Amino acid sequence: MLSRTKVKILETCRTPCSFTQIVKAAGVSKRNVATHINQLEEAGLIVKGEDGKYRLTDRGRIELEREIGERIESAELEVSGWIDSSKNIYEEIEKKLHLHGSALDLRPTRSFLDILLGITWKDIIESFIMLSKEDREYLRFLSRLYVKSIKKFLGSTPDKMGFMEIRAAWQIARDMVDRREGLEFDFKSAWDELYNNLSEELKKKMKENNLTPERIFKKLKIFSYSILERIQMMKKGIL
């Protein structure tokens, strides 16, 4: 894995930024940042443009995705017992979504990467327990949306599926509504059913953060792939 500072620099360079902006985001000395920038440039992960700003290369984008994904998977292994203790498939998915930072959708000013770089397994469990009412409702909404979008997959209904089967159905689904041999998938009807029952407070926060059906569909679709699968898709230009 790359060092914390290098990962922070890569994250900052998702959008073109100056050396000063990188120093501020990384939180270390200018000399330290200069050393890391040189190493990242030599590795072909970032490049300095004619405007003097640094930005991620395609290779850098893939490497950053790998770093974040590996940290999530490492955290998931550490709390596997906690995830396995879930009472039902909905709670299991809620916990997995929490590990992927989904609760932060309602407060985008907080950096998931900052949390991920310094988190421990105890932090994960405690933060899940301490979620606000709206955060909990949002994760509950996402988990049910994830399951209920699948009407039938390979002859089975969601109530008879485990997470891996549900995940596979999401991977195969081509769009929000996809009906063909072996798959009956309908994200739109599941959204309409579940969204109407949300509290007005949560609906307001979702609207403020532009959490539209299209955006959440894409988030859940990405959630359905492992880090290696996402990297392969990025190399092919799918993500």
pTM: 0.80
Q: What is the mean pLDDT of residues 101-114?
A: 70
Domain(s) of CATH 1.10.10.10: residues in the chain: 4-56
> In the chain, where does DSSP find H-type helix?
4-12, 19-26, 30-42, 58-78, 80-84, 89-99, 112-118, 121-129, 133-148, 163-172, 187-195, 200-208, 213-223, 227-235
Residue with more model confidence, 216 or 126: 216
Could you tell me the pLDDT band of residue 116, with boundaries at 50, 70 and 90? low
Task: With H, G, I as helix, E, B as strand and everything else as coil, classify residue 142.
Answer: helix
pLDDT for the residue 10: 93
Q: What percent of the chain has pLDDT over 70?
A: 91
> In terms of residues, how long is the chain?
239
pLDDT for the residue 71: 81
3-class secondary structure per residue, 75-122: HHHHCHHHHHCCCCHHHHHHHHHHHCCHHHHHCCCCCHHHHHHHCCHH
Task: With H, G, I as helix, E, B as strand and everything else as coil, classify residue 44.
Answer: coil
Instruction: Summarize pLDDT for 145-172 with one digit per residue, the tens.
Output: 999 999 999 999 999 999 999 999 999 9
Is pLDDT at 4 greater than 90 in this prediction? Answer: no
Could you tell me the pLDDT band of residue 118, with boundaries at 50, 70 and 90? low
Is pLDDT at 112 greater than 70 in this prediction? Answer: no
Mean pLDDT score across all residues of the chain:
89
pLDDT for the residue 113: 63
Instruction: Summarize pLDDT for 211-229 with one digit per residue, the tens.
Output: 999 999 999 999 999 877 8
CATH of 4-56, one of 3.30.365.10, 1.10.10.10, 3.40.50.12160, 3.40.50.880: 1.10.10.10
pLDDT for the residue 9: 93
Greatest alpha-carbon span in the chain: 60
pLDDT for the residue 51: 95
Dist CA 179 CA 212 (whole Å): 22
Residue with more model confidence, 71 or 197: 197
Is pLDDT at 121 greater than 80 in this prediction? Answer: no
Closest CA to 83 of 125, 131, 119: 125
